[in-house]
Amino acid sequence: MSKPKNWPDSFPYLESPLHAKDLTPTQLQALHTRPVSVAVLPAASTLTPSPNVHIQPIRDASHPAHGQFGLFATQNLRPGAFILAYLGRVHAGLESAAESDYDLWLDREADVAVDAARQGNEGRFVNDYRGVRERANAVFGTGWCERWGEVCVGVWVAGGKNAGKGIRRGDEILVSYGKGFWAERRHAEGGGEEERGGDAKTSWG
Ligand SMILES: C[S@@+](CC[C@H](N)C(=O)[O-])C[C@H]1O[C@@H](n2cnc3c(N)ncnc32)[C@H](O)[C@@H]1O
């Protein structure tokens, strides 16, 4: 199996979603039922490793995630384009890895989330835009991944009116984790809760 450059030795690299044993038959059925309203992602767009990105250490001392890793574009990506799937351990949300900084809702109604804290793919290295640039240039969302025949979380280039020109080769790919993420973090560190208002899990939008 080939792993992306800079993938840490200590983490398993996933080439498909990893299903936790506690997913109920109803949750598994929801995962394997194609919703009418989500983007269909052909198998060719979910290659592992992804040809659209590379993992890089953050060496810029002014970057708030200095000393960690980030995800960067290997080619120009147009507004609205799909970038890559976010792979991890797909689990029942109730059994949430509350302390994980890598846990995203996959299907809130079905109570299913995906956590990339202990294993995953390049998606786990997407940083938040705060303190790096004015706004996010990418968004999390859900799609139907034909490669695995299931609903999956993915990362898209930001689209819409204010999207700009997309992401240029070499740019860092940055999403918004949602205010809830940072409020939770301040709360955990003993700070205030004034910005609370997002999801307990990392949210998007
Ligand atoms: C999903 S991980 C992103 C990848 C992470 N940089 C790494 O190397 O594993 C989320 C963590 O990255 C860091 N991070 C991401 N965006 C950040 C930002 N804008 N400011 C400060 N820390 C950030 C925080 O430590 C956060 O808990």
Per the domain annotation, does 52 fall within a domain?
A: yes
Write the CATH number for 115: 2.170.270.10
pLDDT per position as a tens digit, 94-107: 755 567 899 999 99
Say yes or no: CB of residue 74 within 6 Å of ligand 1: no
| Segment holding 18, helix H or strand E | strand 18-19
Residue 92 is encoded by which pair of tokens? Answer: 């029942």
pLDDT per position as a tens digit, 60-100: 999 999 999 999 999 999 999 999 999 999 999 875 556 78
First to last CA, the chain: 34
Say yes or no: CB of residue 68 within 6 Å of ligand 1: yes
| Residue 189: other Cβ atoms inside 10 A | 7
Within 8 A by CB and 6+ apart from 121, the residues are: 4, 13, 14, 15, 48, 49, 50, 84, 85, 86, 87, 88
> Which domain does 144 fall in, by range?
18-188
Show the DSSP H helices in the chain as ranges: 25-31, 179-188
Cα–Cα distances in Å, from 139 out to 30, 150, 170? 23, 20, 18
Give the residue with greater pLDDT, 191 vs 82.
82
pLDDT at 87: 98
Report the distance separating Cα 205 and Cα 139, nearest Å: 7
pLDDT per position as a tens digit, 136-184: 999 999 999 999 999 999 999 999 877 778 999 999 999 999 877 777 7
Per the domain annotation, does 86 fall within a domain?
A: yes
State in Å: Cα 164 to ligand 1 middle.
24
Q: Per the structure, how many domains does the chain have? A: 1
Report the distance separating Cα 140 and Cα 158, nearest Å: 9
Whether residue 202 is predicted with pLDDT greater than 70 in this model: the reply is: no
State in Å: Cα 65 to ligand 1 middle.
6
Coil, strand or helix at 39: strand
pLDDT at 95: 56
Average pLDDT for residues 95-122, to the nearest whole number?
89
Per the domain annotation, does 10 fall within a domain?
A: no
Q: C-alpha 195: how far from its chain's center?
A: 22
pLDDT per position as a tens digit, 14-59: 999 999 999 999 999 999 999 999 999 999 999 999 999 999 999 9
pLDDT at 33: 97
Residue 195 pLDDT class (50, 70, 90 cuts):
very low
CB distance 111 to 37 below 8 Å? no
Per the domain annotation, does 197 fall within a domain?
A: no
Per the domain annotation, does 31 fall within a domain?
A: yes
Strand 39-41 versus strand 127-128 pairing type: unpaired
Per the domain annotation, does 194 fall within a domain?
A: no
State in Å: Cα 66 to ligand 1 middle.
9
pLDDT at 196: 29
pLDDT at 20: 97
Per the domain annotation, does 164 fall within a domain?
A: yes
Per the domain annotation, does 198 fall within a domain?
A: no
